[in-house]
Amino acid sequence: MDQENTCKVCVYRSRAFKNLTDKEMALIAINREERHFKKGEIIVEEGSKIDEFLYLQKGLVKLYNKEPHRKEHIISIAKPLDFIGLLGLFSNQKQVHSIAAIEDCTICFVKLNVIKELIRTNGNFALDFFEKISAVSDSVIKTRINIHTKQLRGRIAYILLFFAHHIYNSKSYSLPISRKEIAELIDMSTENVIRVLSEFRKDDIIEIEGKHILIKNLQRLEKIYTNG
């Protein structure tokens, strides 16, 4: 199979890498690998060596930390077209976070030294790439701070709206993660995640059936979110 073509026609590529010549694109093409992961599979282990840049084409993944003797902590959820991995990529030798698939997914692995070479030689690419990856880190910081200024109902509202607006673009969707994972993402106990969801159901703000969520009163949910 002609890998260069595979890469050039990739519908995702244009969104990810701007300002590249055909020749540069070909360089990426021969230094990339597309891999598939099943829901639940671990993609990157914390502490392993960094030598590839990951680009999510399809599915959802979570970035998380697992410290010994502590429960896991989810840092963020990435959706298709997102760059995976924060800036640690450029300031560390080893992976700072683990990454796992929370839906079946397709990921493009590009050799990091190729990316670095392109940054070195193509200034416009460098600037654009920098801009994109920095937006990711910036948003993680903002979200972290935001969440901790809110109490439990506000945090659950955040999560419900996050999936509705940011991931599924619908008021009706199926949660890709467990209650426990929600708890790890917004720093609360699993029991309280369930409790607040039940409250929202009783207050007729949402419908729940297992993993399936339907937002019945969006306005009210947004009010809970903004009022903390």
Look-up of token digits 């720093």? 187
- Site stretch for DNA (CB under 7 A), options 9-17, 21-29, 50-58, 174-182: 174-182
131 binds a copy of itself, rule: CB under 8 A: yes
73 lies in the binding site for DNA (CB under 7 A)? no
Question: Of the listed pieces 56-64, 111-119, 165-173, 189-197, which binds DNA according to CB under 7 A?
Answer: 189-197
Contacts for 61 with CB less than 8 Å, ≥ 6 apart: 43, 77, 78, 84, 99, 100, 101, 102, 105, 107
**DSSP-derived 3-state class of residue 170:** coil
Q: How far, in Å, are 93, 137, 164 from residue 130 at the CA level?
A: 19, 11, 28
Least distance between a copy of itself and beta carbon 176 (Å):
22
Under rule CB under 7 A, residue 174 binds DNA:
no
Of 28-36, 100-108, 143-151, 154-162, which segment contacts a copy of itself by CB under 8 A? 143-151
Q: Which residues sit opposite 42 in a β-bridge?
A: 100
For position 33 contacting DNA by CB under 7 A, the verdict is no
In the complex with DNA, the residue whose CB is nearer, 187 or 204, is 187
- Name the nearest CA neighbour of 128 among 226, 35, 228, 20: 20
DSSP assignment of 95-144, as one string? -SSEEEESS-EEEEEEEHHHHHHHHHH-HHHHHHHHHHHHHHHHHHHHHH
Contacts of 208 (CB under 8 A, 6+ apart): 197, 198, 201
Part of the chain binding a copy of itself (CB under 8 A), chosen from 9-17, 21-29, 141-149, 152-160: 141-149
Tell me which of DNA, a copy of itself, none is bound by residue 211, counting a contact when its beta carbon lies within the kind-specific cut-off of 5 to 8 angstroms: DNA
> Does 79 interact with DNA (rule: CB under 7 A)?
no
Binding site for a copy of itself (CB under 8 A): 65, 67, 70, 73, 75, 86-92, 96, 116, 119-121, 123-124, 126-127, 130-135, 137-138, 140-142, 144-145, 148-149, 187
Binding site for DNA (CB under 7 A): 151-153, 178-180, 187-192, 194-195, 197-198, 208, 210-211
